[in-house]
Amino acid sequence: MNAHELITRNTTEVITGDEIEKVAAEPAGARAYVGYEPSGVLHVGHMLTANKLIDLQEAGFEVVILLADVHAYLNGKGTFEEIQSTAEQMRAQFIAYGLDADATEFVFGSAFQLDEEYMLDVHKLGLETSLNRAQRAMAELQGGDTATVSHVIYPLMQALDIEYLDLDLAVGGLDQRKVHVLHRETVQALGYDKRPCLHTPILADLTTGEGKMSSSGGVTISMEDSRAELEEKVNSAYCPPTADPDPTDDGRDRENPVLQLFEYHVFPRFDEVTVDRPDEFGGDLSYDSYTALEADLESGELHPADAKPTLAAYLDQLIAPGRDHLWEHVRIILNE
């Protein structure tokens, strides 16, 4: 797989295609980032963008992870001490998940976002941005209306982070799109260059296939889940046998979260996926591509009852290193 394919696979949108092609032509040493609020244990949303960062490292990029402690503080996620403790835990889990420690730079937002020059740029950007636009950008991230002045400052800071971290590419979920566009359309007024942006998909709610999978509501998968918990969650996931019409279909717009997890989490990290199946039901199945598994599920060759345990087993392999680190971290705290 060439650099352009690695950069763009499993993406929903790139802004713009021409700019991405230029970066892909000379990826060695280029810098890409994702920013994360340190607000809890890593979950599949974090892991989806982390998979993309692993792709970028394979393509030759240097990866920057912004541990956005100031953003988390502005979003009411705790004291700086609490947030930074969570950030340290997240850092270790990202490395355990598979990011190359030697090619990953972790930066606390507070290392530069409280400096005079940065804060003056926040005020300058505020002069370039309408209140409604800042509110719309933040509402997209929150999934609702903004409530405080801090929520209006938040997207302005994100727009500036891309400049201050000296990046060649900004990466985020599709819910980051409005903030990235805000960056591209405003920072040039401050004398800065706009950067290309890349957006990964949003996973559907695990149990309904509707809306967004969220750690703040509904069921999600995180690095603290045991194998048994993974199996329970995946077994309850929405995944109709697509060879036949879904008897529960009521016309609502649904995605298949089981297929999404195979496509965006499992197949980017495993060369082959094997479904263990009794001989009486046709024996084991092996897949070297997501499209082959999807086709078998749609044809009825692969039943959800066989796909789900397989998904849980492969997710467990991905999550286990970070989960082990989490419990080691807890043991250290308890011993202290």
- What is the distance between the alpha carbons of residues 319 and 324, in angstroms, rounded to a whole number? 9
Q: Which fold has domain 3-200?
A: Rossmann fold (3.40.50)
Q: Where are the domains of the chain?
A: 3-200, 227-335
pLDDT in tens, the chain (336 residues): 899 999 999 999 999 999 999 999 999 999 999 999 998 778 888 899 999 999 999 999 999 999 999 999 999 999 999 999 999 989 988 998 899 999 999 999 999 999 999 999 999 999 999 999 999 888 776 655 667 899 899 999 999 999 999 999 999 999 999 999 999 999 999 999 999 999 999 999 999 998 888 766 668 898 889 999 999 999 999 998 764 445 455 556 789 999 999 999 999 999 999 999 988 888 999 999 999 999 999 999 999 999 999 999 999 999 998 887 655 554 444 354
| pTM exceeds cut of 0.85 | yes
Q: For residue 81, how many other CB atoms are within 10 A of its CB? A: 9
In words, the CATH class of domain 227-335 is mainly alpha
